Amino acid sequence: GVVGSPRHSKNTGTLVQKVLEGVKSKGIETALFYISDYQISPCKACDACKQSGECVQDDDMKILHSAMREAKGLVLGTPIYLDHVSAQTKVFLDRLYSYLGPNLEHRFPNGVKSVLVFSWGASSPDAYNNVIAWLQGRLSGYFDIETIEVIKAARTDTVSVSKEEDLLRKAFDTGVRLSDFLKIRS
């Protein structure tokens, strides 16, 4: 799982962890990365990766790239700040650019399934459907990553997801469902 929140084990991280618990309950190994724990520079748009397939920047994104190459699934969580994904999430996504070839063909492992987790303070559960559609479109269009579920947590500035039993159950059950897809890819 990849968490784009700068705050550990808060709303976004709690939900991503719960999805991963569901995956682990079926005997599948998981890993959790908080982007803010790593020194990751923004993409420099140098296009060196278009030839080599590897980003030339020598920073901690190499750790996440290595994990991504091995992964059969992706659980990506981000809070919504100022009407979009967090800055940490955006830097992570931009650095996936190295998975695109010279003609924007994807070089990402085929058949990866994803679960997307979003949290925000607005009260409407549909307040940021446009951001969700944007992220699903980028993952699908650029990397052929199919999103099997979106988990949305609204009102998180006043209600902690740790008190939302139905939402926690949905996250766990989604992880169990994701594990079924991961077993097919094994």
pLDDT tens figures, 79-105: 999 999 999 999 999 999 999 989 888
Tell me which residue has tokens 């209600």. Answer: 159
Task: Give tens-digit pLDDT for 105-124.
Answer: 888 877 899 999 999 999 99
- pTM for the structure as a whole: 0.95
Q: What is the spatial distance between Cα 109 and Cα 136, in angstroms, rounded to a whole number?
A: 17
User: Residue 141 has which token pair?
Assistant: 């269009």
Give the chain's domain count. 1
Task: Give tens-digit pLDDT for 54-65.
Answer: 999 999 999 999
The better pLDDT of the pair 31, 9 is held by 31
Side chain identity at residue 7, one-letter code: R
Task: Give tens-digit pLDDT for 117-160.
Answer: 999 999 999 999 999 999 999 999 999 999 999 999 999 989 89
Residue 165 maps to which CATH number? 3.40.50.360
Q: How many residues does the chain have?
A: 186
